[in-house]
Amino acid sequence: MKVLVPLASGFEEIEAITIVDILRRASIDVTTASLEEGPVTGSHGISVIPDTGLTGLDISGFSLIVLPGGMPGSANLKANDRILEAVRRIHDAGGSVAAICAAPIVLAAAGVLRGKRATCYPGYEKELTGATAVDEPVTVDGRIITGRGAGCAIPFALRLVEIIKGSQAALDLKQALQVYWM
C-alpha cells in the first residue's frame, strides 16, 4: 500500500511528522508532497522538505491519502482543487481517506463524508457537511478515518497501521514506542 501525505503551508507539525514517522516505522510506503515546490512551513514555524511536489504526481498509485490538520494548513488543502480531486479519486477507486484536526473539512469539501461518522477539532463540526460529528479521539467509518487533534496523533497513526498491516503490527509498534495511555 502506498500512502500520500500532502503538506500545505500552515500544517500542524505534530500531526504530519507523527503520522509519517509511525507509518514509516511500520515499513509502510509513505510519500510526502507539497502543494508547491520546495520546503513547507508549518503553523509553528517548522519547515519540512517534502519528498516531492504534488504537481505531476500520479495519484493512481496511492490507496490512502492522509491529511494533517492545522491552520491555515487545512484551509489551504481545502482550497486546492488538486487535493480535492486526489481525495475523490482515491476514495472512488476503493482506497481510504484520512484526516485529523481541522483537515476533515477537506474530506467534507470533497464530498466523501456524506452519511459517515467523523471527528474533528472542536469548532469545525459545522463544516463536516453530510457527516455525523462524533466526540472521539479517532473515528473509523468504513474507508474514512478521522482524528480529533494533535494530542490524538499517535493513536490516529497507530490506527492507520492497524488498518493497513493488522492489529499485531500496531500493537508491536505501540509497545516499541512505549505508548501506555491507549
Q: Where are the domains of the chain?
A: 2-176
- As annotated, the active-site residues are 101
What pLDDT does 182 receive?
Answer: 58
What pLDDT does 5 receive?
Answer: 98
User: What pTM, to 2 d.p., does this model score?
Assistant: 0.97
* Statement: residue 34 has pLDDT above 70: yes
| H/E element, 132 | strand 132-133
What pLDDT does 180 receive?
Answer: 78
Question: What's the CATH class of domain 2-176?
Answer: alpha beta
Of 143, 126, 177, 179, the closest CA to residue 65 belongs to 143
What is the rounded distance in angstroms from the CA atom of residue 103 to the CA atom of residue 71?
9
Q: Which residues does 125 contact at the CB level (< 8 Å), separation at least 6?
A: 133
* Statement: residue 166 has pLDDT above 90: yes
SS3 (DSSP) at 39: coil
CB 130 within 8 A of CB 141: no
14: region left, alpha or beta (phi > 0 left; psi from -120 to 50 alpha): alpha
* Statement: residue 181 has pLDDT above 90: no
SS3 (DSSP) at 16: helix
**pLDDT tens-digit readout, 112-161:** 999 999 999 999 999 999 999 999 999 999 999 999 999 999 999 999 99
What pLDDT does 109 receive?
Answer: 98
What pLDDT does 148 receive?
Answer: 98
Of 181, 179, 106, the closest CA to residue 146 belongs to 106
* Statement: residue 37 has pLDDT above 80: yes
**pLDDT tens-digit readout, 38-90:** 999 999 999 999 999 999 899 999 999 999 999 999 999 999 999 999 999 99
Q: What value does the mean pLDDT take over residues 86-104?
A: 98
